[in-house]
Structure 1
Amino acid sequence: MMQLRQLRLTGRGAADAIMTFAAAGNVVAGDSDTGKSYMLRCIDYVFGAEVMTKVIKEAGPYERVLVELENDQGEFLTLVRALAGGDIEVHHAPIEKISDDGIVIKWMRKGTSKLLDVTSVLLPFAGIQEAQLRKNKQGKKQRLTIRTLVPVFLVDEITIIAERSPVIGTVGFDTTARKRMLSYLLTGKDDEAVIADEKKEIASARSAAKISLLDDLLAPIDARLSRFSDGQDEEGSIELTDAAIEQISAVIDENSTERAQLMNERREVVDNLHRAESQLVAINELSVRYRLLDDRYGSDLDRLDFISEGAHYFGSLQEVRCPLCDQAMDGPHQHWQSDSVAAQPVYSSARAEAAKIIGHRADLGEAVKDLQQRRSDRSEDREKAQARLEQIETRLTEHLLPTLRESKSRLETMIQRRLELEGAKLDREKAKELRALRLELENSAASAGTSSKKWAGLGAAPLRALCDEIEAVLREWSWKDTGRVVFDEKAYDIEVDGQPRQSHGKGVRAILYAAFVIGLLRYCRKNRKPHPGFVVLDSPLTTYKKGQPKEPGIDPGIETAFWASLASLPPGLQVVVVDNKEPPPELASGLKYEWFGGQEAGPDDRVGFIP
């Protein structure tokens, strides 16, 4: 359930008009034309009335009306609507904490629209689940809206004294729905499970349309099935096709496995081939250098042979004189020692050096021989790698790839065939269902028509519990007689002490209307049944006159008892009373009380709702 917390009017250049509400009894009293009834009209307007039904000149500067609500979970909801009309803005916050634009919703959902409207926001906030209500004798249904609930929680000054039912209100197209609304509040069960009936002409036309639709649905199915023989065994064909698909898939898997293995081997062979070719390049480079070194060794040996031979013949040279000192060079000489003994070291050194070079040349020969073997080995590795690479390429391109293409083509064909067979199977099953449905429609079309239906009433137990609550309210209000209350399901109104509410004067009608809606609120709160959670009553006491001829059951002290009962409401029950009469001073302190002084307002009095 939810309760009112604040009503506010705002406009540029105008001081806000603000009214706050407490969680229990609230009274706004004062002279006429002070904006009391206008407050109820503002709440009704924000709750989805099509237009603002009351206009007062004091509201001229104002542009928007805001209603702040709080539910049982302590959550706040503020609804904002322009007085000029249009959609509603929703804020999940108190008015004082609104800081940005809210969510825009429709004031009412029309037709089959699923857009958010005031009902789809208010009812969940109040803990009321979305419900379906029967709207006619044939069982057609409509959605429960906040507008359907208005007569039992927002009661204006005209409705409260009317002779109409407090549930139905003005007789109109939604009479049945409002009756079912009371049943929903009393039991918590809606009419979702109701199955509607139709007139014979409508039912026949609907059956014919359905048969025509079934024929349209059967036509393409029959056309597809014409490609298959009636005696064809789809199940057997599907099993054979599945076996073929499985076999082809196995071939593809084997092919893919072998291809993957060959591709891995191919990478290894290519790596080996590159390695062999790289080593052959290095071997060839070394061979060139080894030849150059061998040539160098040969050149060095030739030079040493020349030196050795020159030293042998040096002693046989003829005597000559030194070109520097003109002395004979065969004796002791400071420039040259021509003694034959000097040639011997040169010869020995040349032979020793030649032996070393010959040894190096022999080592070089061994290295060249090893290099040639390595060249032979690497050449053989290269030839093997090239041969294996050609084998792999041949296997891949000439065997595996064509097999894979062929297998994939066959697989696609078999899958397509499988789909066709499965489609044919489903088509046969669907055609069978549609023909059975068509036959059923043909059989039922002749007997279609409106059947006489009996609808269950409100239920004796919940009605008695509701009447008990109304009786308790009347006792608190000092009803003079026994105050025995029964509910007349034909008039959808209460009878008190055997007298219908409509048979009383307007003053008593107003009091009994107030007792009915407050009793309903108490019943729903006590039994945890759906209800908006508060009641607003406009002028329940105004038309009740003391000193007039007494009507049966009416006690002169009923006004005082009414205010006393309102002052003792528990916090879970919120009742807002707008009236010209005011509570006694000793009771006003127990209420959230506002007095509108109007033209006679004193310095400390509030003139009216609008500053």
Structure 2
Amino acid sequence: MGIVLTSLSAQGPDRETAEVLFHSRRQLIRGPSETGKSYIYDCLWYMLGGNDLPESFPLTQGYQEFRLRFKAADGEYEVRRGLSGGGAAVYTRVLGDTEDQAFEPLDQDLGELLVALCGASGKQILRNHSKRGAVTGDDLRHWSLWSQSDIPAKQPSAGSGHAASKHEAAFHLFLTGTDDSAIQLRKSATEAERARGELQSAETALKRIEALMPKDLRRNEVEEALERVDTTLSAMTSQYEARASALKDLRRQLAETSDALHRVENDWNHSQSMISRFELLDKKYANDQARLGGTNEGVAFFQELPTVDCPLCGTPAESQVDPNDLRPTAPSRYRAAIAAEAEKIRALRVGLLAALQHERGRYQDLKARASKLAADLNVLQNREAMVLMNTRVEFTANPKTLALRRSELSEQLSNFDEIQRLTAEVDRLRKASVRKRITVTREGGTFGREVANRAKELLNTWGFTSIQNIALADGPCDLRIDDRSRLSYGAGVRGLYLSSLVVALMEHALEKGHPHLGVVVLDSPLKTYAHPDSTEEHEVPPATVIDRFYGWMSTWRGRGQVIVLENEPIKPETAEALEPITFTRIRGKGRYGLYPLRDGVVPRNDASDEGDAN
């Protein structure tokens, strides 16, 4: 886990690229003041997600973009960010690709990317006693990048102010690999105030409900009374259901009988109508027969009369009528037709009388059935009336009164439930409204001793061989050397002690697989100790510490990457092994500084030459 910085550059149109390359293990960048060493620190802080812009000065004019490259286990990344501010754009390519392989845009926040590459994704640390959050890029930067002013400062290593809590939590995450997800949080002031408001509302509601209840009323009394009312209502309901069942069957019979009577009466009325029609038709047939009989007699009488001329004028009969009608056979044919028609009507009448007789029999049958059904219907109606008349209430209580009483008892029982709930809620809110102070105790244990021993080895290597004992204080996340707090030592010594701590922490975290950025950047760790105007009493000569510090860097093969920005001199033989990047601040001799000199730009020799950066 962790990253390895490979290069930092500044680019702009028509400008020579200003670039520094970093060794994968250790890199010393040295030179006199105002050559851009501290500016490199500011750039690294900025390019790893910090908000503070590196200071601009004449040589930065025309440069528009910083680019920081670093490697991780899964690939190579390039961060691009403007010199004038703005967000960071992240690009990536697969490790092993050639240098001309283009970087592809990566749609991921820089801080989230760094946290993921350092193995801290999903880890939770305390922001304060009331809030927990994810590890951020700031937590990684704080313990990895140390400025010239922070190293010798007489302040806790975790910093001061609101950020100190989360820096302490991040330190213990790097140290132990365990986050703060299991630590109980203290309620925030907002949460406590909200609980107080809810408590007041709950207490008011409790008083209101208690005022509605009789003082001497007990829950068990209400439950027993409600049970008695329910028992009575249940019995009454059962009685009504039994009666309803009986009436249901009786009314079903009534409906069936009524329907049958209606159908029989319809048939009866239809039969009566048919009889009337048949009788009327029979009368017609009788009239037709009488008419045909009279006609037949008339024809017979006409047939017997002799043929005579007109008595008035003497005209022959043949001249007045159709001669055919005067023939003897004509009346006979007419009488035969009448006889045939009369026989037809007689036959029809015989059939009609048979049908009439049948319909009269059917009429009598339907009449009898209608009488029986009417009698049955009357019996059923009388039985229904008797059932309704014989209905009697077997209970003295009125069902309506019982229902009202049940509603009253149920409301009282609900009030008891609400009182119980509100009482428990009031107790809970009273506890919730109190902000109990929570003491967070983190113990480094074996890990703490390991880091302290690593720091002691480093200090011994740097020349501090008289240290008797060293320990890591869990609370302040700092070293105690020979039973003294690190901050009790002079500025130069405590700066080197701090340097040993952060390097030891990085090595330990990477060895154990704990989260860590994987890089330590130290800006001028030796300067304060070796300053000629220092009034500190040095147990170890500054020259010895400087030589041994540089010697350690030239042979260091530990885990992680150490980048040191320093202006103290280095021995040639050590420089040959360490291969530092050296800024000369001399025109025409070596590398002037981070930014190359250009025609028309005259570097100033004051503190603003390349910003206030050293």
CA spacing shift, 1:551–1:80, aligned 2, 3 Å: closer
Displacement after TM superposition at 1:557 (Å): 2.8
Counterpart in 2 of 1:599?
596
Find the counterpart in structure 1 of residue 554 from structure 2: 560
Verify the 8 A CA contact 1:315 1:338 in the aligned structure 2: yes
Tell me what 1:112 maps to. none
- C-alpha change, 1:518 and 1:347, in structure 2 (3 Å) is farther
Partner of 1:338: 331
Whole-Å separation in 2 of the counterparts to 1:277 and 1:189: 91
Are 1:416 and 2:404 matched, yes or no?
no
Report if the CA contact (8 A) 2:41-2:521 is conserved.
Answer: no
Q: 1:302 and 1:183, CA in 2 relative to 1: closer, same or farther beyond 3 A?
A: same
Asked if 1:167 corresponds to 2:157, the answer is: yes
Distance 2:485 2:306 in 1: 177
Name the CA shift for 1:271/1:528 in 2 (closer, same or farther; >3 Å).
farther
Unaligned runs of 5+ in 2: 94-103, 188-192, 308-316, 432-436, 531-540, 580-591, 599-609
Q: How much does 1:515 deviate?
A: 4.5
**1:96 and 2:96 correspond:** no
Deviation at 1:300, TM superposition (A): 3.4
Quick one: distance in 2 between partners of 1:256 and 1:20? 98
* SS, match of residue 228 in structure 1: coil
TM-score (norm 1): 0.56
Maintained 8 Å contact 1:4/1:70: yes
The question of whether the paired residues in 1 share the 8 Å contact of 2:209 and 2:419 is answered with no
Contact 2:272 2:363 in 1 (8 A): yes
Task: Quote the sequence identity (%).
Answer: 10
What residue number does 1:347 align with? 339
For residues 450-501 of structure 1, the C-alpha deviation after alignment (integer angstroms, 9 at most, x for no partner) is 9xx99967454221122345568789xx757879883353985447899997
Task: Find the residue that maps to 2:105 and give its secondary structure.
Answer: helix
CA distance in 1 between counterparts of 2:420 and 2:321 reads 128
Aligned with 2:43 (options 26, 29, 39): 39
Query: Is contact 1:9–1:65 with CA below 8 Å preserved after alignment?
Result: yes
User: Take 1:424 and 1:454, find their aligned partners in 2: how far apart are those partners?
Assistant: 36
Do the aligned residues in 1 keep the contact of 2:292 with 2:342 (CA within 8 Å)?
A: yes
CA-CA distance at 1:235 after TM superposition: 1.9
Residue 449 of structure 2: aligned partner: 464
Deviations, residues 494-537 of structure 1 (Å, cap 9, x unaligned): 4789999776885x8767645533432343354455x4544452
CA distance 1:553–1:375, shift in 2 (3 Å): farther
8 Å CA contact retained: 2:158, 2:477: yes
Match of 1:549 among 529, 532, 543: 543
Partner of 2:214: 227
| Aligned partner letter, 1:220 | K
Distance 2:355 2:418 in 1: 85
What are the equivalent positions in structure 2 for 1:181-260 lying under 5 Å apart?
182-183=171-172, 185-187=174-176, 188=178, 190=180, 192=183, 220=207, 224=211, 227-229=214-216, 233-249=218-234, 251-252=236-237, 255=240
Match of 1:316 among 276, 280, 301: 301
- Structure 1 SS opposite 2:554: helix
Q: Which residue in 2 is equivalent to 1:155?
A: 145
Separation in structure 2 between the aligned mates of residue 2 and residue 63 of structure 1, nearest angstrom: 29
CA distance in 2, matches of 1:120, 1:377: 101
**Number of the residue aligned with 2:355:** 363
State how 1:51-66 maps to structure 2 within 5 Å. 52=52, 54-56=54-56
Q: Aligned to 2:326, which of 325, 329, 338?
A: 329
Q: CA deviation at 1:19?
A: 11
Whether the aligned pair in 2 keeps the contact of 1:142 and 1:177 (CA below 8 Å) is: no
| CA 1:349–1:488: 2 relative to 1, 3 Å | closer
Task: Report the equivalent of 2:126.
Answer: 131
For residue 123 of structure 2, give the secondary structure of its aligned residue in structure 1.
Answer: coil
Q: Equivalent residue of 1:39, what SS?
A: helix
Deviation at 1:126, TM superposition (A): 2.2
Q: How many residues align?
A: 510
State how far apart, in whole Å, the 2-side matches of 1:9 and 1:286 are. Answer: 120
Corresponding position of 1:302: 287
Change in CA separation of 1:299 and 1:149 when aligned onto 2, cut-off 3 Å? same
**What TM-score, normalized to structure 2?**
0.56
Counterparts of 1:189 and 1:277, CA distance in 2? 91
Q: Is the 8 A contact 2:140 2:516 kept in 1?
A: no
Equivalent runs, 1:479-558 vs 2, <5 Å: 486-487=470-471, 489=473, 493-494=478-479, 513-527=498-512, 529=514, 531=515, 533-535=517-519, 537=521, 539=523, 549-551=543-545, 554=548, 556-558=550-552
| Cα distance per residue 1:76-95 (max 9 Å; x no partner) | 9x99999889xx9999x999
Q: Distance in 2 between matches of 1:55 and 1:164?
A: 25
Q: Which has the higher contact order (CA 8 A, sep 6+)?
A: 2
SS at match of 2:471: strand
Q: What's 1:445 paired with?
A: none
Shift of residue 164, structure 1, vs aligned partner: 3.9
* Residue pair 1:63, 1:84 contacting (<8 A) in 2 also: no
Matched to 2:501, the amino acid is: F
The verdict on how the C-alpha distance between 1:324 and 1:455 changes in structure 2, with shifts beyond 3 A counting, is closer
1:430 and 1:419 mapped to 2: Cα distance? Answer: 15
Larger-gyration structure (1/2): 2
8 Å contact kept, 1:71–1:125: no
Partner of 1:110 in structure 2?
none
The alignment's C-alpha RMSD in Å is: 7.1
Change (3 A) 1:538 1:189: closer
